[in-house]
Structure 1
């Protein structure tokens, strides 16, 4: 297993999302983005994050 895969594996989904947003913030520092571009990106991320098909079914005990 690669170190970056291990690091992502031990993070909770919320921590992974926060890490991704921090990386994106650094990557786009100094870039000029319109409000529409940012809102479209947020919609895409939320759609993927909260999509019903992305959720794993809960285990029954």
Structure 2
């Protein structure tokens, strides 16, 4: 499930990269696009998103703190 969510996030980021990459000179586009994709994948699968709480996990944690 987390992998599916990660791919959904990456797909959205990839669309944004494709849209914005045209602001770069043509000779640098391919390299920049590749670097941005690598960076995005590292951020998504490098632990930042995997270590975050789901909604119900967060809710349970907060409810247990106040008890």
Q: TM-score range by the shorter chain?
A: 0.3 to 0.5
Give the structure with higher Rg (CA).
2
Structure with greater helix percent: 2
Q: TM-score, normalised by structure 2?
A: 0.43
Q: TM-score, normalised by structure 1?
A: 0.46
More contact order relative to length (CA 8 Å, sep ≥ 6): 2
